Amino acid sequence: MLILHCPNCGVDADETELAPGGQAHLKRFGPGSSDEDFHDYLFARENPRGVHFERWRHAHGCGKWFHAARDTATLEVFATYSAQTTEPPQAVLDAIAARRPGWTWRHES
């Protein structure tokens, strides 16, 4: 029973108000893409023990989507932020790095 802060309406929402939406920051592949790219877009998901970026919807609240950066093992929440972005904002990456020294975002490895 997580609590996540909805960045859209400002409410600290109980998990019962939220609907999970899987991994965040997927890039959509449409017509013309290779079978492999499209397959990965549809089905291949990260499942890390540790830092993870997720999509959530404040379904029984403001109805808006947002993103959460959290640790799947300790349940620590580093930040929640707008869903209208293709990758985590620098402030979010900084917040994670402060708590998990040595951790890097996928482009930075």
Partner 1 sequence: MSTRIAAHGRLIDRAKSVGFTFNGKPMRGYAGDTLASALLAGDQMVMGRSYKYHRPRGAVASGAEEPNALMGLGEGAKFEPNQRATTTELFEGLTARSQNHWPGLEFDVGAVNGRLSRFLPAGFYYKMFIHPRAFWKHVYEPVIRQAAGLGRVPGGRDADTYEHFHCFTDVLVIGGGVAGLQAARSAAASGASVLVLEQSAHWGGRAPVDGGTVDGAGADDFVRETVAELEAMPNVTLRNRCMGAGVYDHGYALGYERLTDHAPRAGGPRHRLWRIRARRIVTATGAIERPLAFAGNDVPGVMLASAMRDYLVNWAVAPGRRVIVATNNDDAYRTAITLKTSGIDVLRILDARSSGGGALMQEARALGIRIDCGRAIGRVSGGKRVRSVAVCAQEGTGGALEEVECDAVAMSGGWSPVVHLWSHCGGKLIWDEARAHFRPDPERPPRGADGEGFVIPAGAANGELALNGILGDADEAGKTAARGAGFKPARSKAPRGETVEEAPLQPVWLMPRHADAHLRAKAWLDYQNDVKVSDVRLAAQEGYHSVEHTKRYTTLGMATDQGKLSNINGLATLADAIGSEIPQVGTTTFRPPYTPISMGAIAGEARGAIFQPVRRTPMHGWHEANGADWEPVGQWRRPYTYLRDGESQHDAVMREVRNTRQAVGLLDASTLGKLLVKGPDAGRFLDMLYTNMMSTLKPGKCRYGLMCSENGFLIDDGVVARIDEHTFLCHTTTGGAERIHAHMEEWLQTEWWDWQVHVANLTEQFAQVAVVGPDARKLLERLGGMDLSAGAMAFMEWRDGRIAEFDARVYRISFSGELSFEVAVPASQGLAFWEALMDAGREFGVMPYGTEALHVMRAEKGFIMIGDETDGTVIPQDLGLGWAISKKKEDYLGKRAQARPHMTDPTRWKLVGLETVDGAVLPDGAYALAEGVNANGQRNVQGRVTSTYMSPTLGRGIAMGLVLNGPDRMGEVLEFPGTDGKTYQARIVDQVFYDKDGEKQNV
Among 18, 53, 57, 92, binds partner 1 (CB under 8 A): 57
Using CB under 8 A as the binding rule, whether residue 28 contacts partner 1 is answered as yes
Tell the smallest beta-carbon distance from residue 104 to partner 1 (Å). Answer: 19
- Polymer length of the chain: 109
Identified binder of partner 1 from the candidate list 10, 47, 49, 75, rule CB under 8 A: 75
17 interacts with partner 1 by CB under 8 A: no
Tokens matching residue 15: 């998990």
Conformational region of residue 38, where left means phi above 0, alpha means psi within -120 to 50, and beta covers everything else: alpha
Q: Following CA atoms 54, 59, 61, 66 in sequence, which dihedral angle do they give, to the nearest 10 degrees?
A: 20
Other beta carbons less than 10 A from residue 76's beta carbon: 14
> Any contact of residue 71 with partner 1 (CB under 8 A)?
yes
Q: Is 15 in the site for partner 1 (CB under 8 A)?
A: yes
Q: How far is the CB of 105 from partner 1 (least distance, A)?
A: 19
* C-alpha–C-alpha distance, residues 11 and 30, integer Å: 35
| Contact residues: partner 1, CB under 8 A | 1-3, 14-15, 21, 28-33, 35, 38, 42, 55, 57, 59, 63-65, 71, 74-77, 83-84, 99
